[in-house]
């Protein structure tokens, strides 16, 4: 599976995105958890991405996309669970979020990324749970799955470069 498989079950409050990459799981894990790697694939091609990562449960990771026009878009998440190198569970935060009563952003979107390896390929399974079916439908309609799919295309290219450089 070198293309994205997006599944939107009728009547469910979640959707999934799955993709297989020609790289070991440990390298894919680094790409998802280290800012220098995350900045290379997370976000649109026409923006420069900066990333910060506090890799611990309760830690914040943030990306900021800067476009040639000078417009920026920030995106933050808080880690809920980390099991290296197989599972990343996080809650997305609004761009202007600065902290809540429990230290967590609103539970509108909660994602789990699971990485499995077989025959030198890593399959990344993203399970995105919304606070409601309506929010799930809005999220899909706004192109969230498409944006993740484009990021996966960039990750495929970046992993290939890392593999050629012997980073595995």
Q: Is the pTM of this model over 0.85?
A: yes
Residue of 34, 14, 33 lying closest to 107 (CA atoms): 14
Cα separation of the two ends of the chain: 20
At residue 104 the predicted structure's pLDDT band, cuts being 50, 70 and 90, is low
CA dihedral 96, 101, 102, 107 (to 10 degrees): -50
* CATH code for position 116: 3.30.530.20
Domain count of the chain?
1
17-72: pLDDT as tens digits = 999 999 999 999 999 999 999 999 998 889 999 999 999 999 989 999 999 999 98
**71: containing domain:** 5-164
């Amino acid at each position: 599976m070198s293309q994205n498989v997006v599944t939107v079950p009728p009547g469910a409050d979640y959707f999934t995105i799955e993709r297989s990459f020609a790289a070991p799981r440990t390298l894919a894990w680094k790409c998802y958890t280290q800012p220098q790697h995350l900045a290379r694939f997370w976000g649109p091609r026409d923006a420069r991405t900066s990333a910060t990562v506090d890799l611990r449960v309760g830690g914040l990771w943030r990306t900021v996309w800067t476009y040639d026009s000078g417009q920026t878009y920030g995106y933050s998440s808080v880690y809920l669970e980390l099991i290296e190198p197989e599972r990343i569970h996080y809650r997305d935060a609004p761009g202007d979020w600065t902290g809540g009563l429990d230290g967590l952003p609103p539970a509108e979107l909660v994602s789990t990324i699971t990485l499995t390896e077989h025959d030198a390929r890593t399959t990344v399974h993203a399970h995105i749970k919304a606070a409601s079916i309506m929010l799930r439908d809005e999220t899909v309609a706004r192109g969230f799955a498409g944006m993740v799919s484009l990021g996966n295309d960039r990750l495929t290219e970046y992993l290939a470069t890392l593999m050629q450089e012997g980073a595995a």
